[in-house]
Amino acid sequence: MERSELKALLEQVRTGAISADEAVDQIGEEPLVELGYATPDLHRGIRQGVSEVIYGAGKTAAQIAGISEALLAHGQGRILITRLGQEKAEAVRGLLPEGSGFRYEETARMGIIGSAPEPDGVGVVLVLAAGTSDLYCAEEAAITAEMLGSQVKRIYDVGVAGIHRLLAHTDDIQHATAIVAVAGMEGALASVVGGLAPCPVIAVPTSVGYGASFGGVTALLSMLNSCASGVSVVNIDNGFGAGYQANLINHVGK
């Protein structure tokens, strides 16, 4: 409840339009749907300007479908479901009502209801991936930013071991509004891009690698210690978080 709403409510009490008891109830009323196993937050759109996203891992298909339906019932037309395996996605599809418009993005492991809005950001979100193996994460970032209203450009397989592959895209790097840099192994892409880009860089370590890459920890640490300024980092494999953050940056002042 916004401060302005609170004041309006209190005015109603003052004029006797509602009783104090009713006001207490309303102040206490939570904008939530209680499903038992989950409490979808219907006000997040108002509070944060972005709609609810469902984290698919650790939820059953029935729970995901149930939450989706509750959100659809309350008028939310666009839903993202992240970390959704193919098999569970098919189960969710089967549980949703006909015509839900559910579709599945395999590389990004995302379920989507609704289409992407017209891009209305400041400029372009650039998604860079170091290697072919990092695409699952780069696509998660790219699709997230698109679904939230950004124009996205993808440039993949531009790791620093062949630095000229990256330098060939200096123009795109110089003119992006926000950059998502996705890399596994030693994650050096973030530092080189951070040194070339005049815009914020969101680095995403991936779990690609073996041995002392420790499932992405090396890339994570490398990115956190980037010698370039202007680089911040999200969790390992968190393409969603990076795309979300990049989209927020791309809407600054909007």
Closest contact distance (angstroms) between CB of 99 and a copy of itself is 26
Q: What does residue 247 show for φ and ψ, rounded to 5 degrees?
A: -65, -40
Using rule CB under 8 A, residue 7 touches a copy of itself: yes
Closest to 253 measured CA to CA, from 115, 79, 47, 49: 49
The site string for a copy of itself over 70-99 (x = CB under 8 A, - otherwise) reads -------------x----------------
Contacting range for a copy of itself; rule: CB under 8 A; set: 70-78, 98-106, 110-118, 215-223: 215-223
Residue closer to a copy of itself, measured from CB, 72 or 220: 220
Q: How far is CA 96 from CA 58, 85, 193, in A?
A: 19, 16, 42
Would you count residue 150 as binding a copy of itself (CB under 8 A)? no
Q: Is 62 in the site for a copy of itself (CB under 8 A)?
A: no
The rounded distance, in Å, linking the Cα atoms of 109 and 27 is 40
Kindly state whether residue 230 participates in binding a copy of itself, applying the rule CB under 8 A.
yes
Q: Which is nearer to a copy of itself, 24 or 77 (CB)?
A: 24
Closest CB to a copy of itself among residues 142, 234? 234
Number of residues that bind a copy of itself (CB under 8 A): 117
Write out the DSSP string of 193-223: HHHH-SS-EEEEE-S---GGGGGGHHHHHHH
Contact 223, 179 (CB under 8 A): no
Looking at residue 116, the DSSP 8-state letter turns out to be P
What CA–CA distance (Å, rounded) separates 128 from 23?
A: 52
Q: One symbol per residue from 189 to 208: x for binding a copy of itself (CB under 8 A), - otherwise; what is it?
A: -xxx-xxxxxxx-x--x-xx
Residue from 39, 90, 97, 106 in contact with a copy of itself (CB under 8 A): 39
